[in-house]
Chain A
Amino acid sequence: MTAQAKKLAPRDNGAPEYMPNLHPLMVKNYGKWKYHEKIKPGVLKHVAENGDAIYTVRAGSPRTLSADTVRKICDIADKYCDGFLRFTSRANLEFQVAKEANIKPLIDDVQKTLKFPIGGTGASISNITHTQGWMHCNLPGTDAAGSVKAMMDDLFEEFVNDDKLPARVKITTSCCQINCGGQGDIAVNIQHHHPPKIKHEGIGICEHPKVVAICPVAAIRPAFMNGKPTLEVVDEKCMYCGACHGQCPNLEIRDAQTDTLAIWVGGKASSTRGGPSFMKLATFGIPNNPPRWPEVSQALRKILEPYKKTGKPYERIGEWIERIGWKKFFEVTGFPFTKYHIDDFRYARTTFNTSTHVRL
């Protein structure tokens, strides 16, 4: 064994153990929980078959955290939660409290020390999922953490209360058309508006067959320029997805002058009631306007306010639109319905209305 190899730490450790990272009450009642109830916005109570109860206090987090802030979170968990906590899939914090009396001082401490809001339960707008944006991605057309901060400032009341909406609203963001933010009741995603611009001088670093193969509409083909191999794009075929840009940075899909944001509605992951659904285009052409993206927040309000007024309990945004019809949706939001709202990609025909069911 070489000296270098000897220095190497063990490999392939796998996932950390979960039992040592669970609150003792959760270890004791693992698989034996009976029911839960909401105490107030952001506070849940889970009761086990033996009568044990554990309280969960949910706090909104900016997701990007300094080590010192995480240590402050740990201090609070040590003080009130026996040294345990968890994170949710939407980057919220969950403090687990064994003693009911600890809830209030914990909340006070979270609000005072961390300045994190308590909420995100029930019919609220929970934390907005996002990834890296200009902080750490190589592909983004806009920022992630900043646009989320701006939107959550505006939607703050809907996070800390859970009686302002018919049902939960999950919002997601994506900074390119790979859309790593995922599906949501509402999504705010970047749109590109022209085929990739080819930087011929640097294209030698890319694997040309891979770039050709990744194009979903076969719009990229090999070419020669000044006797050197390069690539060319058939503009008419290209749908501006940017798949090639991830494969080769010298096919530049982004454009600071022309990229805009689009808003999508009606996505849902759970199988509750009608099953999961994909989101659909609501509006587009919203300026990519840092640092606050005010036009995005205005557009979100145009969806949320009528939803609040006419949505029924437990009815997610997609289900609400399905009930009232898309015609009504475009009326109440004021968004224009255009030819761009009609799908022209795979399965487009399955989205056409083939019945005479029309709302008149």
Chain B
Amino acid sequence: MSESKTPLLDDLEKGPWPSFVSDLKQLSKKKPVVSQLLGQMEQSYKDRWNYWQGTVINLKGYGGGVIARYSELQSKFPDIAEFHTIRVIPPPGWVYSTKTLRELCDISEKYSAGILQLHGMTGDALLLGSNTAKTHEAGEELMEKGWDIGGSGGALRTLACCVGMARCEMSCYDTMKTLKHLTDTFISQLHRPEFPYKFKFKLSGCANDCAASVQRSDMPIIGTWRGPMQIDQAEVGKFVDAHGADYVVENVISRCPTRCISLKGREIAVDDANCVHCMHCLNVMHKALRPGKDKGVTILLGGKRTLKIGDTMSSVLIPFMKLETEEDLNKLTELVERIWEFWTEHGLDHERVGEFIDRVGLGTFLEGVGIEPDPQMVIHPRANSYIKFEELAPGKMAGEPKKTPSVMDKEIETREAAV
């Protein structure tokens, strides 16, 4: 037997967790290009260095969705000189019939290296390893068969949602339907970058936030309810009998962030007006406690990962709105359009909406998008006393009432940032 060409990667074939190396090695018998991919990865492992260069290639009529990669070691690995990824919008909630999934396998083998990644961190289904010509052909076949290409660059990105009402009793709104509605309504903004930078929606049916929307998306839409939580006191009694009152006090009652829940014998009482819908008690006693019947969503804004000012967490924009009817969905799309308009008008290059809000102030932002301030948007009111009260300034100094909120002129700020 000849000596292995990938001794470092071979080490990752050992151990109990399934090995991508073994799978790719098997694939390389059918797709020789994959052995060159493994060869370059081995070189990276050896040198602790990366050998991909990145750029963008676009399908006709599209402004994103293909992640182009060129090997810097193409003299050694000529077959991966061009080795691109195509981002494909998956079905909402990553649900597949085997027919749907097999179609993706066939397209991936026909035009790419036959490598799928299910899924990328934004949520796309990824097909790896097409050269430039095959990328265009794959794109045409995908679109011919009803698939569509995901987002990249300063555009709306592919949306993601939890399993929602399809298989979860906690879900307070229809995440899949909302995802489909938003994707289809804003498909042009997804395909043709026109924003200062990327914009992500993630949709979670409840505050458990299985889509990790608060930290990973610019606009999380999270299910909630108002009014009384549904309580099945007979099931509460069974739970108390099975676990004991001490367990319930220690793991349910005392963990409530607003101390709105109490145990009275074998029954639970909830001060619903003070419940913040955090989901903890429902998670522990999921047979006994359920979300209330008047369901809706809380909409937040401004989350993103580290680059470049540090992480920002999304914060409350709309404390509650119903999201059931077509009219409700239209209200949501109108809200999104107002936010995009204001952000696109005043945002700087590469400035996510959360960074933009940090720069101009949430108060100014609210004025710009026409939303009334609400105490639920903050942990507490401001503690610093330097305030420009527009209404309280003398007439001459305050000037004419402003039609648009005071955001510094875009060009001036760009210049200042450059200094």
Contacts and interface: CB of A to CB of B under 8 A. Distances in A.
A16 B18 CA distance: 29
B183 interface: yes
B307 A64 contact: no
Contacts of B91: 15-18, 21
A356 interface: no
B279 A15 contact: no
A141 B48 CA distance: 7
A142 B11 CA distance: 17
Contacts of B47: 256
Contacts, number: 374
Interface string B374-389: 0000000000000000
Contacts of B118: 61, 63, 65, 70, 87, 91
B97 A83 contact: yes
A138 B53 contact: yes
A178 B54 CA distance: 15
Contact of A149 (B20, B90, B95): B20
Given A10-B144, A84-B97, A26 B167 contact: yes
Given A22-B166, A64-B23, A134-B41, A271 B209 contact: yes
A69 B209 CA distance: 30
A56 B178 CA distance: 24
Interface residues of B, number: 135
A237 to B, nearest CB: 12
A311 to B, nearest CB: 13
A41 interface: no
Interface stretch (B102-110, B261-269, B334-342): B102-110
Interface string A26-48: 10001101111100000000100
Contacts of B294: none
B417 A213 contact: yes
B75 to A, nearest CB: 19
B313 interface: yes
B81 interface: no
Contacts of A64: 20, 23-24, 115-117, 128
B242 interface: no
A348 to B, nearest CB: 11
Contacts of A334: none
A360 interface: no
Contact of A137 (B15, B16, B52, B414): B52
B160 interface: yes
A271 B207 contact: yes
Nearest to A77: B98
A273 interface: yes
Main secondary structure of the interface of B (DSSP, over half): mixed
B360 interface: no
B307 A246 contact: yes
Interface residues of A, number: 119
Interface string A136-148: 1111111101100
Given A8-B61, A13-B143, A66-B24, A241 B169 contact: no
Nearest to A33: B169
B95 A213 contact: no
B148 interface: yes
Interface stretch (B210-218, B361-369, B396-404): B210-218
Interface in B251-267: 251, 255-257
A26 B166 contact: yes
Interface stretch (A97-105, A274-282, A300-308, A325-333): A274-282
Contacts of B179: 15
Interface in A278-313: 278, 288, 290-292, 312-313
A287 to B, nearest CB: 10
B133 interface: no
B16 A117 contact: yes
Interface string B134-147: 00000111111011
Contacts of A291: 8-9, 11-12, 45
Contacts of A273: 255-257, 278, 280
Interface string A241-281: 10100110100001010010000000101111111101000
Interface string A173-186: 00001111111000
Nearest to A75: B98
B215 A267 contact: yes
B256 to A, nearest CB: 8
Nearest to B276: A271
A179 B307 contact: yes
A258 to B, nearest CB: 10
Contacts of A21: 91, 95-97, 100
A67 B116 contact: yes
Interface in B22-64: 23-24, 26-27, 30, 37, 40-41, 44-45, 47-54, 60-62
A212 interface: yes
14 contacts: A13-B147, A14-B187, A21-B96, A31-B171, A74-B101, A84-B98, A85-B95, A138-B54, A146-B9, A152-B17, A221-B418, A256-B49, A273-B255, A276-B214
Interface of B: 8-9, 11-12, 14-21, 23-24, 26-27, 30, 37, 40-41, 44-45, 47-54, 60-62, 67, 69, 83, 85, 89-102, 104-106, 108-109, 114-121, 123, 128, 139-144, 146-148, 159-160, 162-163, 165-169, 171, 174, 176, 179-180, 183-184, 187-188, 191, 207-216, 222, 250-251, 255-257, 276-280, 283-284, 286-287, 290, 305-311, 313, 348-350, 414, 417-419
Which 8 residue pairs of A and B lie closest in terms of their CB atoms, listed nearest first? A138-B54, A153-B15, A14-B184, A134-B44, A271-B207, A9-B143, A152-B17, A74-B98
Given A54-B167, A177-B306, 13 more contacts: A11-B61, A62-B18, A66-B116, A67-B115, A67-B116, A68-B30, A84-B96, A91-B118, A136-B128, A153-B14, A183-B216, A269-B212, A272-B278
